[in-house]
Structure 1
Amino acid sequence: MLKEVCVENFTMIPDVIARGAGRIELCDNLAVGGTTVSHGVAKKTIEYCQSKNIKVMAMIRPRGGNFIYSIEEIEMMKHDLIHLKRLGTDGVVLGCLNNTGWIDEMAMVTLLELAKGLEVTFHMGFDHIKPEYQFNAIDWLAKHRVHRILTHGGPMDSPIEHNLPRLKEYIDYAAGRIVILPGGGITYKNLPFVAKALNINEAHGTKIVG
């Protein structure tokens, strides 16, 4: 089981790796769901994780709030993505939506072009796509070679255990074309139950290592 640990500063990195983190999602401001970290935090984290053979997935998100971004914000994301790629991140975590509850295809295609050579995770913005569009979104993201989708399977205020049927539907529908990465409320305590119920090989959380 690969345990991806979400951290918002370097201080925690050595400890979570020592406790079994197999991959790091690096972001700032977890209170708003994560934003892009500073140059210094990114540089030190990437260097340290590379020395431990641990991959880093860096958040590309200019602010909290919704996932509908202005032209200026997309430009910020492009600059941050290029910068983090130069620093040596293994991958990026991003997601853009439009005001119809669907993927902002133009923004995503632009960012995915810049992310070539990196792993890409579409973050929990996925859970803000209209439910009736989500299976089509899996198709779109798989077609555009996104590596994984981070999803809670429902509203963030719902326990993940309540969302297992929906998550299983995503996994079955994806059929190996793209990884469905469950997250949001997975801890080292409930991970065995969630992993067995979904038959997954990787999971995401802030408290996923004991």
Structure 2
Amino acid sequence: MLKEVCVENFTNVPQLIAKGADRIELCDNLAAGGTTVSHGVADVTITYCHSKNIKVMSMVRPRGGNFVFSKEEVDMMKRDLVHLKTLGTDGVVLGCLNDTGWIDEDAMISLLDLAKGLEVTFHMAFDHISPQNQLKAIDWLVERGVHRILTHGGPLDTKIEDNLVRLNEYIEHANDRIIILPGGGISNKNLELVTSELNVREVHGTKIAD
């Protein structure tokens, strides 16, 4: 079982790796759902994690709030992605939507082009796609080479245990073409339940290595 631990700075990274974190998702401002970290935080964290043979997935998101980004914000994301790539990040975590409850295809295609050679996770923006479009969105992301989808299976104010049926629908539809990465509210207390019910090989959270 691969445990991806979400962190918002370097401070706890050594301790979390010592406790069993297998991969780090690096972001700032977790209270807003995660945004892009500073140059210094990224550089130090990536260097340290690589010295421990731990991969780093870096958040590319210019602000909190919704996932509908302006042209200028998408340009910021492109610059941050290129910068993180030069620092040696193993992957990026991103997601852009339009105001109709669907993927911002133009923004995503331009970002994915810059992300070639990196792992890509489409983050919890997925949970803000219209429910009737989510299975189609899985297909769209598969076709464009995205590696995984981070999802809570429903609104973040719900318990992940209550979303297992929906998460299993995603997993069944994905059919091993893309990794469905459950996250949001997973801890050591419910980790065994979630992983056994979903039969997943990767999980994501802030408290799964405590």
TM-score by length of structure 1 reads 1.00
* Shift, 1:188, TM fit: 1.3
2:48 alignment partner in structure 1: 48
* Shift, 1:140, TM fit: 0.1
2:96 alignment partner in structure 1: 96
Count of residues in Structure 1 that have an aligned counterpart in Structure 2: 210
2:25 alignment partner in structure 1: 25
Instruction: Please list every run of 5 or more consecutive structure 1 residues that lacks an aligned counterpart in the other structure.
Output: none
What is the alpha-carbon distance in structure 2 between the residues aligned to residue 208 and residue 144 of structure 1? 30
Instruction: Please list every run of 5 or more consecutive structure 2 residues that lacks an aligned counterpart in the other structure.
Output: none
* Shift, 1:136, TM fit: 0.2
1:154 alignment partner in structure 2: 154
2:144 alignment partner in structure 1: 144
- What CA deviation, in whole Å up to 9, does each residue of 1:74-120 have, x standing for no partner? 00000000000000000000000000000000000000000000000
What is the alpha-carbon distance in structure 1 between the residues aligned to residue 93 and residue 128 of structure 2? 16
1:1-210 equivalence runs, <5 A: 1-210=1-210
- Aligned residues: percent identity? 72
- What CA deviation, in whole Å up to 9, does each residue of 1:127-181 have, x standing for no partner? 0000000000000000000000000000000000000000000001000000000
What is the alpha-carbon distance in structure 1 between the residues aligned to residue 15 and residue 101 of structure 2? 38
What is the alpha-carbon distance in structure 2 between the residues aligned to residue 104 and residue 164 of structure 1? 27
What is the alpha-carbon distance in structure 2 between the residues aligned to residue 162 and residue 60 of structure 1? 29
What is the alpha-carbon distance in structure 2 between the residues aligned to residue 49 and residue 20 of structure 1? 13
What is the alpha-carbon distance in structure 1 between the residues aligned to residue 188 and residue 122 of structure 2? 23
What is the alpha-carbon distance in structure 1 between the residues aligned to residue 17 and residue 57 of structure 2? 14
- SS across alignment from 2:34: coil
* Shift, 1:209, TM fit: 1.0
Q: Which amino acid aligns with 2:136?
A: N
* Shift, 1:189, TM fit: 1.3
RMSD, aligned α-carbons: 0.3
Q: What stretches of structure 1 move > 3 A for 4+ residues in a row?
A: none
Q: Which amino acid aligns with 2:26?
A: L
Q: Which amino acid aligns with 1:183?
A: G
What is the alpha-carbon distance in structure 1 between the residues aligned to residue 77 and residue 46 of structure 2? 19
